[in-house]
Each structure stands twice: as C-alpha cells, then as structure tokens.
Amino acid sequence: MFHKEGFKIIAITFMIIAILTVIIDRFVSIQWLQYLLFFTLFIFLVLILQFFRNPKRLTVLSDSTVVSPVDGKVVVIEEVFEPEYFKDKRLQVSVFMSPINVHVTRYPISGQVAYSKYHPGKYLVAWHPKASTDNERTTVVVENQAYGKVLYRQIAGALAKRIVNYAKEGDTAAQGSDSGFIKFGSRVDLYLPLGTNIKVGLNQKVKGGESIIAEI
C-alpha cells in the first residue's frame, strides 16, 4: 500500500524507467553493461516504492498516552524552551527519519487541532541544532481533555524539499491517523508538558502510530 503523496512520483518513475529500458536495449550492445544498467534501474524503482509505502498500523487509542508520530530513531530527550506557541519550558522528544523509513506523519494524540502553521526555511541536515528553528517546518498543536496540549513539528532535512501537512485548526484529530508526509529524510519534534512520563530512550527505534512515547 502506497501513500497518496507518492502516486504522481511513482507514475513518473515507471514512465522514465520504461523509456530508459527501451533506450538501453536498443543502443547498449555490451551485455554485461546492459545487465548493470537494468539492475540500477530496478534498485532505483525499489527505493522509490519503499519510500512511499504506507503500512497499516494498529494504534491502541488512549487519551493518556502519546504515540510516536513517525517511524525512526529517538535522537533528543530534553527539557527546552518552546518559543513559538507555548513560550515556556517543555519536554522535547525528537525522532529522526532516514530515507529508508516510512515518512507518513501521524497524530500523536486524539483531540482538536488548536494550531497549525507552515514556516518556509532552510534545508540544514535534520540533526543540526538550528534545524528546529531555521529549516522548513510545520507546527501543529493538538489538545484533548486528558493530556492537554501536545505540539509536534515536522522539520525538513537536507534532502526533504516538501512538507505536507493535512492538519487544519478546528479539525478533529484521531490518534494514529495520517496527518501529513515529509519527502526524503527529516525529523519530527514533540513538545510535551513537564512531568510527562517518557517511555522511550535515546537511540531507540520507534514506529509511527504504535510506539508509546509518553504517558500521563
């Protein structure tokens, strides 16, 4: 199953590969070189298909837990000052996505979207200290009665050139459901209330919509 954001790119990729296959077959006479080029095209197709995959995830709905919004590795767990929305100290948990991870972004909690804003910016590597404030990004805040407000921020990386965000202010968010997509490498930051019980550790691998990041 593939994400809708990849349909156009996948179709174009198939067309390009079909054209290149015909060209290679007609104009490349050296057999070993033909095989090498065909194999390269096949690997390229596999990479595109796996990048836009959208596997089904079983989210155990709970207003007292925060699930990971994306697949990847936990690279930051620390108390920080959040300057855009809360303007106070929060617990930040950041998940880094490599190009081979699933890049669907999912709602970390159920509730109502209280804030959603896009920020144009740079394309520093996703683990750069200034990526959270200088890179292209979107900020979304979801609120429910049990947990209060949780902010998550999609951050473009050096390869990511487009962030897709479906969340609009006033929308009803369902925990674990699609809220966006980031193309080609990136990270997502979560900002949680102080005192939150963090359930993951640094360098731990997590799955979007399934892994529990924190709980009340």
Predicted pLDDT of residue 100? 82
Same domain (yes/no): 36, 74: no
Same domain (yes/no): 118, 17: no
Dump pLDDT digits (tens) for 112-164.
Answer: 999 999 998 766 665 555 656 677 889 999 999 888 999 999 988 655 557 88
- Give the whole-angstrom CA distance, residue 172 versus residue 185: 28
Same domain (yes/no): 36, 101: no
Q: Is residue 60 part of a domain?
A: no
Residue with tokens 């910016």: 121
Calculate the average pLDDT of the chain: 89
Same domain (yes/no): 144, 104: yes
Same domain (yes/no): 102, 31: no
- Give the whole-angstrom CA distance, residue 3 versus residue 183: 11
- Give the whole-angstrom CA distance, residue 115 versus residue 142: 7
Same domain (yes/no): 69, 103: yes
Same domain (yes/no): 75, 162: yes
Q: Is residue 57 part of a domain?
A: no
Same domain (yes/no): 40, 89: no
How far is CA 167 from each of CA 111, 158, 173, rounded to the nearest angstrom?
12, 24, 8
Same domain (yes/no): 126, 77: yes
Whether residue 41 is predicted with pLDDT greater than 90 in this model: the reply is yes
CATH number (domain holding residue 82) = 2.70.70
Task: Supply φ then ψ for residue 18, to 5 degrees.
Answer: -60, -45
- Told to judge if 98 belongs to the known catalytic residues of this protein, a careful annotator would answer no
pLDDT higher at 113 or 28: 113
Q: Which of 214, 203, 205, 168 is nearest to 70 (CA)?
A: 205
Give the Cα-Cα-Cα angle 163, 123, 8 (nearest 5 degrees).
35
Q: Is residue 56 part of a domain?
A: no
pLDDT higher at 160 or 189: 189
Query: What residues are paired with 163 via a beta bridge?
Result: 182
- Give the whole-angstrom CA distance, residue 41 versus residue 153: 35
Predicted pLDDT of residue 135? 77
Q: Is residue 58 part of a domain?
A: no
Report, as an integer, the average pLDDT of 178-189.
Answer: 84
Report, as an integer, the average pLDDT of 99-114.
Answer: 92
Dump pLDDT digits (tens) for 47-100.
Answer: 888 878 888 888 999 988 999 999 999 999 999 999 999 999 999 999 998 878
Same domain (yes/no): 70, 41: no
- Give the whole-angstrom CA distance, residue 216 versus residue 143: 14
Q: Is residue 38 part of a domain?
A: yes
Structure tokens that stand for 88 in this block = 């106070």
Q: Which of 68, 110, 116, 186 is catalytic?
A: 186
Whether residue 42 is predicted with pLDDT greater than 80 in this model: the reply is yes
pLDDT higher at 157 or 202: 202
Predicted pLDDT of residue 172? 96
Query: How many domains are contained in the chain?
Result: 2
Same domain (yes/no): 42, 71: no
Predicted pLDDT of residue 97? 87
Same domain (yes/no): 71, 46: no
Report, as an integer, the average pLDDT of 3-22.
Answer: 89
Predicted pLDDT of residue 75? 93
Domain assignment of residue 96, given as a range: 65-215
